[in-house]
């Protein structure tokens, strides 16, 4: 399977675009739409020069392909497009190796429609040793897409924007 435009928009929405390297809440140098490494395998460094939004979009699309390949290698369940998009968004955020080793993927592979998946999904809301409101919002949006999938991305975005906002969740450059 491949991610849809909706899945890419979901990732872009939550990652946000930043042209210059910054440290994410977990303290990892990041650039563009949440990229922690470049296509050649180099890790992002705080001293790297800025990139354009067009370059960040290309980087995201190519990186997502790597995530798809990895997730497809251990995903045995038959998912619909919304479920797959949500799973790739999660994987992009937590890393495919973390997903591969998780209880969550075992649950999905055993019964992709089990309601217990939501509980396992919501365990992925910590960064840098603390619970982050932004990750809570992201996980809720991913779960909404995974299970219901009937709302448009715009409706999901509206729902998310109406959730409480916390200052420790925002990045200031």
Question: Annotated active-site positions, please?
Answer: 15, 24
Beta strand 130-131 pairing with 126-127: antiparallel
Among 149, 7, 171, CA closest to 89: 7
Looking at the DSSP assignment, which residues form a beta bridge with residue 32?
Answer: 18
Tell me the C-alpha to C-alpha distance, in Å, between residue 45 and each of 12, 89, 164. Answer: 21, 23, 32
* Inter-residue contact 31 to 51 (CB < 8 Å): yes
- What distance in Å separates the CA atoms of residue 4 and residue 133, rounded to the nearest whole number? 26
Query: 31: part of which helix (H) or strand (E)?
Result: strand 29-32
Longest dimension (CA), the chain: 45
């Amino acid at each position: 399977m491949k991610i849809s435009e909706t899945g890419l928009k979901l990732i872009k929405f939550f990652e946000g675009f930043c042209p210059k390297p910054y440290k994410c809440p977990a303290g990892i140098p990041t650039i563009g739409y949440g990229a922690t490494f470049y296509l050649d395998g180099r890790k992002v460094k705080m001293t790297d020069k800025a990139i354009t939004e067009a370059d960040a979009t290309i980087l995201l699309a190519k990186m997502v392909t790597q995530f798809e390949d990895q997730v497809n290698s251990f995903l045995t369940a038959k998912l619909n497009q919304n479920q797959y998009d949500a799973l790739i968004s999660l994987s992009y955020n937590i890393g495919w190796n973390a997903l591969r080793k998780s209880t969550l993927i075992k649950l999905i592979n055993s019964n992709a429609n089990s309601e217990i998946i939501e509980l396992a999904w919501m365990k992925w809301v910590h960064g840098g040793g603390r619970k982050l409101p932004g990750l809570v919002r992201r996980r809720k949006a991913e779960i909404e897409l995974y299970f219901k999938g009937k709302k448009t991305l715009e409706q999901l975005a509206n729902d998310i924007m109406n959730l409480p906002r916390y200052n420790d969740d925002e990045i200031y450059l």
